[in-house]
C-alpha cells in the first residue's frame, strides 16, 4: 500500500516532527520545500541557482521554481511507495500545479493531514523553540504574520481537499506521541488497516 501524504498546519503545529515520524514509520521520504531548496542550492542545479537569487534578496521563491523542484523530487525513485509533502502547496495555484504533477506521474494523494492547534499553544511552542534553537525568525510579530498568511492563503486549501474526501483532521495540541498515535489510527482507518 502506498502512502502519498500531504501535511498541513500553521507554524508551530508540529508538522516537521510528525512528518519525520510518519516517514520513518512508512518508509517514505518526508519532502519539505526547505529541504528541496537546500538540496538544489547545494547541488548547484539550475533551479537551485534561480531560487538562491530570490532567497538572497529576501524574496519568496516564485511558484514556477518551487513547483519545478517539487515535480523533480516526487518523480525520484524513492517515492515509489509514497512520500509526505510538508510546506507545499501553500497557494491555490500550487494546489492546481501539484494535482497536475501527480496526475502526470500517476501518483494521486492518499490523504491530507490537517493539524489544528489553539493559537495560545502555538505561541508557547514558538517561544520555547526560539529559546532552544535561537531562531531569529521566531518572534511574536513574525508568528502573527505567518498565522495571518496561513489563515488567509493556506487554510482555505483544505476546502479543496475536503471536497475530494482526503482530509484527516488531527488535534495537534497534544504531545508529539499522542499526535503520532492519533495520526496512525486515523490513517489506518482511512487507508485500510494494513496501512
For the chain, the 3-state helix, strand and coil shares in percent, each to the nearest 5, are: 60, 15, 30
Indicate if 15 belongs to the active site: yes
The one catalytic residue among 4, 15, 73, 125: 15
The one catalytic residue among 119, 135, 145, 162: 135
Indicate if 135 belongs to the active site: yes
Indicate if 4 belongs to the active site: no
Cβ-count burial 16-51 (b if 16+ within 10 Å, e if not): eebbebbbeebebbbbbbeebbeebbeeeeebbebb
The one catalytic residue among 20, 38, 127, 129: 129
Indicate if 129 belongs to the active site: yes
Indicate if 20 belongs to the active site: no
The one catalytic residue among 50, 73, 125, 146: 146
Q: How far is CA 187 from the centre of its chain?
A: 16
The one catalytic residue among 4, 50, 90, 125: 90
Question: What are the residue numbers of the active site?
Answer: 15, 90, 129, 135, 146
Amino acid at each position: 500500500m502506498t502512502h502519498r501524504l500531504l501535511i498541513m498546519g500553521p507554524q508551530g503545529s508540529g508538522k516537521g516532527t510528525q512528518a519525520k515520524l510518519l516517514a520513518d514509520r512508512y518508509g517514505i521520504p518526508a519532502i519539505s520545500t526547505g529541504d528541496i531548496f537546500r538540496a538544489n542550492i547545494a547541488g548547484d542545479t539550475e533551479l537551485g541557482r534561480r531560487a538562491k537569487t530570490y532567497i538572497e534578496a529576501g524574496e519568496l521563491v516564485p511558484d514556477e521554481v518551487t513547483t519545478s523542484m517539487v515535480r523533480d523530487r516526487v518523480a525520484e525513485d524513492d517515492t515509489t511507495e509514497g512520500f509526505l509533502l510538508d510546506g507545499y502547496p501553500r497557494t491555490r495555484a500550487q494546489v492546481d500545479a501539484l494535482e497536475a504533477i501527480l496526475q502526470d506521474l500517476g501518483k494521486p494523494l492518499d490523504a491530507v493531514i490537517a493539524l489544528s492547534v489553539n493559537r495560545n499553544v502555538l505561541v508557547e511552542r514558538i517561544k520555547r523553540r526560539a529559546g532552544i534553537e535561537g531562531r531569529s525568525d521566531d518572534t511574536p510579530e513574525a508568528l502573527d504574520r505567518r498565522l495571518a498568511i496561513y489563515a488567509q492563503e493556506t487554510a482555505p486549501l483544505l476546502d479543496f481537499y475536503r471536497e475530494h474526501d482526503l482530509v484527516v483532521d488531527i488535534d495537534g495540541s497534544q504531545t508529539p506521541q499522542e499526535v503520532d498515535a492519533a495520526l496512525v489510527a486515523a490513517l489506518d482507518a482511512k487507508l485500510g488497516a494494513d496501512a
